[in-house]
């Protein structure tokens, strides 16, 4: 992405200086600075608890600041509430998409400022003006193909995200905070967001980009600001920064290689053997195997089949799966998730919030959910047996929690993911399948999860990882498999580079040469 030049003579679009904030005597932010120029993309990074969310909430009027100043276009501002921030052109694009599915595209874009005209004795919404405004904004973003009269629930997730951005522009956004904007998107859908960011830069909008994906950060940003323990830990020019420097600033230690994990291959028994697996329109004759003690990573882009393969093996897709599957050397028909669990297969879905956790239940209740029958003593479920099991995995996996009775939704993303993994760590589970195991997880927690997966494999568990993060697959796998359009197009041993895996997905000779 081209980097916009900014004038040193003009005032920054956003200037936060000396920001401090404490809750109940605990300092969360201390003397934090953040300066963003017009037309600049500033990535804001930091591990969970670093202070990113608090800083953004101060900027957008959710929290008041205890100290420091905030200026927009050189003018000092105080936002008593989010509405005041929006009025000043400071907009937040939250991680969770917030559109009204049963309203049209035009209605969603114009929601905060509906155009009205005189009706028969009272004002009514001017539909024509609303559609024209919305059409202009979508055209401005380069998405003339989106129909302004369509209900938003009929759009793809990426298109819904585009509608959100158009709504921010309708409010004349000057500073746009994008919090994990691609977390629910495929790699190709994320490219659409990057195209929009390029347009926002041309329009001199200052963008604060929060993401756990370093590859995105290095592709889309001009500069990178890092917070650690509520303080500034470094500001980097993206074009000259190294990933090692950025990671070291985030983690407070030398972290040249996120994937510094011993890989040794495995000669254990073949736990999973897949031959000719077919799902109409999704998978076409996939062959795959995983041994005890081995991590096999499957990489693929959108439409490759990675979003289907794990579910097909587990049984979540039902009897429409074709081909032959052996588990532990005996034939297995993946007809249902219940059958998959009974055959010793565990499954961690990509979408933790919808398919992985029950946010209002406790850590203990989430951990024991798949195998609650194991804790029945007589006619009752033994709370003490459940608690003992939960404490065991909290200790072994280093889950940061106040204890087994903490409500699940209050944990960080990385710790939620560890709970999702722990629930399957019982003797009967021989194969653990993980979709996008570190999606939405900060860098420090990612490394911990990788180490835990390696330790589990060393104890004999067979691990199958399906990920659209090519660096992740290359970095943690004993063997790597590449899917493209439902077919296996490459198999690699340990040590394969991300470039080799990516090259297997394209016929572009220039890419292979690179």
* Average pLDDT score over residue span 113-137: 74
Looking at domain 1-89+216-257, what is its CATH homologous superfamily? Answer: P-loop containing nucleotide triphosphate hydrolases (3.40.50.300)
pLDDT at residue 494, as a whole number: 85
In this predicted structure, the answer to whether residue 62 has a pLDDT above a threshold of 80 is: yes
Task: For Cα atoms 146, 150, 153, give the angle at the middle one, nearest 5 degrees.
Answer: 100
Q: Output DSSP code: residue 352.
A: I
> If you average pLDDT over every residue of the chain, what do you get?
84
pLDDT at residue 506, as a whole number: 59
Spatial separation of the C-alpha atoms in residues 189 and 208, rounded to whole Å: 20
pTM of the model as a whole: 0.58
Residue 157 CB neighbour total at 10 angstroms: 13
In whole angstroms, how far apart are CA 165 and each of 159, 193, 364?
10, 9, 39
What single string gives the DSSP state of each residue in 255-286?
-S-TT--------S-EEEEEEEEEETTTEEEE
Looking at domain 267-344+430-514, what is its CATH homologous superfamily? Answer: P-loop containing nucleotide triphosphate hydrolases (3.40.50.300)
Q: Which two tokens stand for residue 436?
A: 């996008």
Tell me the β-bridge partners of 277: 286
Residue 113 CB neighbour total at 10 angstroms: 13
Which phi-psi region, left, alpha or beta, contains residue 344 (left: φ > 0; alpha: ψ -120 to 50)? left
Q: What is the pLDDT of residues 224-280, one digit of tens each?
A: 999 988 999 999 999 999 887 887 788 665 444 677 777 666 678 999 999 999 999
Q: Which two tokens stand for residue 372?
A: 């609650």
Radius of gyration of the chain (CA): 25
In whole angstroms, how far apart are CA 167 and each of 60, 89, 102, 147, 177?
16, 12, 16, 15, 13
Can you give the residue ranges of every domain in the chain?
Answer: 1-89+216-257, 267-344+430-514, 354-427
Q: What is the pLDDT of residues 445-467, one digit of tens each?
A: 788 888 889 988 999 999 999 99
| pLDDT category of residue 288 using cuts at 50, 70 and 90 | very high
Do the domains 1-89+216-257 and 267-344+430-514 sit in the same CATH topology, yes or no? yes
In whole angstroms, how far apart are CA 506 and each of 194, 499, 500?
21, 11, 11
In this predicted structure, the answer to whether residue 206 has a pLDDT above a threshold of 90 is: yes
The pairing of strands 462-467 and 295-299 is parallel
**Which is more confident, 159 or 16?**
16
pLDDT at residue 509, as a whole number: 41
């Amino acid at each position: 992405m081209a980097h916009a030049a900014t004038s040193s003579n003009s005032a920054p679009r956003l200037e936060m200086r000396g920001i401090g904030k404490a809750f109940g005597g605990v300092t969360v932010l201390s003397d934090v600075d953040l300066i963003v120029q017009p037309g600049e993309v500033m990535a804001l990074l930091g591990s969970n608890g670093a202070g990113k969310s608090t800083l953004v909430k101060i900027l957008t009027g959710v929290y008041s600041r205890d100290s420091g100043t905030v200026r927009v276009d050189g003018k000092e501002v105080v936002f008593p509430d989010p509405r005041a921030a929006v009025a000043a052109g400071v907009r937040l694009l939250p991680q969770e998409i917030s559109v009204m599915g049963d309203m049209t595209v035009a209605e969603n874009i114009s929601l905060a400022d509906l155009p009205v005209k005189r009706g028969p004795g009272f004002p009514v919404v001017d539909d024509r003006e609303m559609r024209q405004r919305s059409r202009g904004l979508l055209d401005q973003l380069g998405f003339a193909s989106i129909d302004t009269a369509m209900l938003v629930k009929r759009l793809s997730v990426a298109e819904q995200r585009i509608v959100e951005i158009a709504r921010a522009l309708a409010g004349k956004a000057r500073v746009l905070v994008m919090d994990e904007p691609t977390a629910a998107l495929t790699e190709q859908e994320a490219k659409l967001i990057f195209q929009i960011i390029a347009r926002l830069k041309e329009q001199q909008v200052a963008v604060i980009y929060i993401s756990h994906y370093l590859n995105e950060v290095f592709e889309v940003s001009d500069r990178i600001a890092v917070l650690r323990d509520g303080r500034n830990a470094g500001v980097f020019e993206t074009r000259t920064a190294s990933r090692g420097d950025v990671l070291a600033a985030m983690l407070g230690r030398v972290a040249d290689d996120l994937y510094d994990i011993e890989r040794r291959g495995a000669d254990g028994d073949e736990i999973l053997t897949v031959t000719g697996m077919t799902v109409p329109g999704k998978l076409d004759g996939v062959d795959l195997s995983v041994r005890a003690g081995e991590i096999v990573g499957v990489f693929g882009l959108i439409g490759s089949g990675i979003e289907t393969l794990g579910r097909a093996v587990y049984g979540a897709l039902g009897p429409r799966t074709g081909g032959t599957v052996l588990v532990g050397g005996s034939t297995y028909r993946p007809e249902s998730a219940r059958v998959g669990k009974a055959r010793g297969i565990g499954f961690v879905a990509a979408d933790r919030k919808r398919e992985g956790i029950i946010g209002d239940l406790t850590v203990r209740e989430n951990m024991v959910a798949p195998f609650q029958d194991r804790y029945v003593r007589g006619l009752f479920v033994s709370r003490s047996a459940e608690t003992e099991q939960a404490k065991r995995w909290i200790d072994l996996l280093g889950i940061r929690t106040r204890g087994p009775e903490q409500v699940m939704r209050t944990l960080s993303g990385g710790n939620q993911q560890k709970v999702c993994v722990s629930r399957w760590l019982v003797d009967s589970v021989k194969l653990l399948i993980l979709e996008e195991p570190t999606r939405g997880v900060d860098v420090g927690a990612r490394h911990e999860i990788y180490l835990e997966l390696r330790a589990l494999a060393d104890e004999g568990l067979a691990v199958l990882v399906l990920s659209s993060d090519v660096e992740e697959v290359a970095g943690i796998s004993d063997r790597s498999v590449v899917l493209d359009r439902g077919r296996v197009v490459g198999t690699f041993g340990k040590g394969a580079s991300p470039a080799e895996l990516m090259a297997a997905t394209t016929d572009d000779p220039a890419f292979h040469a690179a």
